Amino acid sequence: MSSEQILEALKKGNNKRDVKEILIDSLKSDLEKAKMVDFKFTDMPGLWQHFSVPISQLTEDSARHGFGFDGSSIRGFKEIYESDMLLMPDLKTGFMDPFSESTISIIGSVKDPESDEFFTRDPRHIAQKAEAYLRESGIADTAYLGPELEFFIFDSIRYDQKENFGYYYIDSKEGSWNTGDNTVNNLGYKPRYKEGYFPVAPSDTLQNMRNEIVETMIKSGINIECHHHEVATAGQCEIDMGYAPFLRMADQVMMYKYIVKNIALKHGKTATFMPKPLFNDNGSGMHTHMSLWKDGKNLFYDPSGYALLSDKALHYIGGLLHHAPALCALIAPTTNSYKRLVPGFEAPVNLVYSKRNRSAAVRIPVYSRSEKSKRIEFRTPDPSCNAYFAFSAMLMAGLDGIKRKMDPGEPMDKDIYHLGKDEIGKIKSVPASFSESLQALENDHKFLLEGNVFTKDVIETWIDYKKAKEIDPVRLRPHPWEYYLYYDI
């Protein structure tokens, strides 16, 4: 059956009404020119996976019963003896793939074909359960999120490690380290370390590329508010999405990364969401704005509260701060994350809250006094996270705070980095390493199990995977700086 025949069949009502309406509303004329459908889903660490089928294979039956794939080849999923899995397409997520000609991309969730249940380790399904749990709690019916993903666009990257050597080498025409380069026609205009925030061209060399990224995102259905160069030298950027409902925003984060990486590649450059690729300059965070709504009303707004925040918002903050050490295992989930989470680089390591203060883990923006715009900003997450896991964990921590009426303490409306030793000693901080975060998650994850959103199997698999595949391999390898410190001992 051709795409034209499928569309005609849908218009005539040959399929069930809900499938027909979803396809027509989300894909519209794209279906007429599409020849392939690309199904995308997320592995446990948070990387998009995909496979494609001819458009003729997208029928009512296949949409309802799913598409088979080998789960044993996906990180964190299944063993070889239980490999068969189903990808259930969420038809309303369809968008014309900007990097694959005549292809519609559709995001899906994963099912176990034997039990006919959604797979407990599927990150997107966990986010769906978190959103359902929010509604079932009666506290709110909608969570709006607005993450600010930072990233670097480099000109080249080389890295390798064997038994007898190890190195990485990053380069960027924008890099401040290249002010003395005489191998090319050096015209200067390199953003200085920690001075890359908002420079115009020619120091900002990426304006047109960011324009193209933003235009592509908008065409793909993502609402964009602004973009700019970020603080670090060497091409650090930020593109801000307008807020969106919980699951939709998690999907958009995956789309965002996909578009950024592929536009960079198109221009012969490379993009990374690694939290701390450069020594001695700012890392990349994912400051996440959050608010809860019910019946069209913002539950975080109170005109008489601190920074216009309601008690519910303060209790939500209390939950985030209380569970922050455990949350870090999911929102800052790499060994590299803890090279960003150190004092002195605008890193939100201190578990306090404040209006305007960017040295606090939770900031309350005060750009506007509007009820609609009132929100909190959790600054500790970074873009290496699996967005489905991270958003779900943050929501569960905040809801736990509301249910238990957790007190976040007094706000910290002063520069934390200039406090005396006695004062700073009283402020709790995020874990100093990924190992500490995983230990905190082992000790504190009951709040994640509420409503069966996360399961013990997911928590245990995550911890075991991260220890075996990331922490131990990094721990066992000599670090280049150790040679500087110890070679002559």
Which residue is catalytic, options 150, 204, 281, 382?
Answer: 150
- H helix count then E strand count, the chain: 16, 19
Q: Is-cis flag, bond preceding 202, omega within 30?
A: yes
Which residue is catalytic, options 155, 238, 240, 251?
Answer: 238
Task: Give how far Cα 211 sits from Cα of 131, 155, 217, 244, Å.
Answer: 33, 18, 10, 21
Answer yes or no: 227 catalytic.
Answer: no
Rounded to whole angstroms, the Cα distance separating 72 from 70 reads: 6
Phi, psi of 386 (to 5 degrees): -80, 110
Answer yes or no: 150 catalytic.
Answer: yes
Instruction: Return all residues near 363 (Cβ < 8 A) that are at least 6 apart.
Output: 287, 348, 353, 354, 355, 356, 357, 376, 377, 379
Answer yes or no: 379 catalytic.
Answer: yes
Which residue is catalytic, options 125, 229, 379, 445?
Answer: 379
Rounded to whole angstroms, the Cα distance separating 50 from 427 reads: 44
The answer to whether residues 376 and 300 touch, using CB atoms and an 8 Å cutoff, is yes
Which residue is catalytic, options 230, 302, 382, 400?
Answer: 230
Which residue is catalytic, options 358, 369, 404, 479?
Answer: 358
Which residue is catalytic, options 8, 70, 84, 117?
Answer: 70
The identity of residue 321, as a single letter, is L
For residue 316, how many C-alpha atoms fall within 13 Å in the half-sphere facing its CB? 29
Rounded to whole angstroms, the Cα distance separating 291 from 395 reads: 10
Answer yes or no: 238 catalytic.
Answer: yes
Answer yes or no: 230 catalytic.
Answer: yes
Answer yes or no: 4 catalytic.
Answer: no
Answer yes or no: 60 catalytic.
Answer: no
Answer yes or no: 174 catalytic.
Answer: no
The token duo for 325 is: 């050490």
Answer yes or no: 377 catalytic.
Answer: yes
Which residue is catalytic, options 97, 148, 204, 302?
Answer: 148
Which residue is catalytic, options 121, 125, 287, 315?
Answer: 287
Known catalytic residues?
70, 148, 150, 230, 238, 287, 358, 377, 379
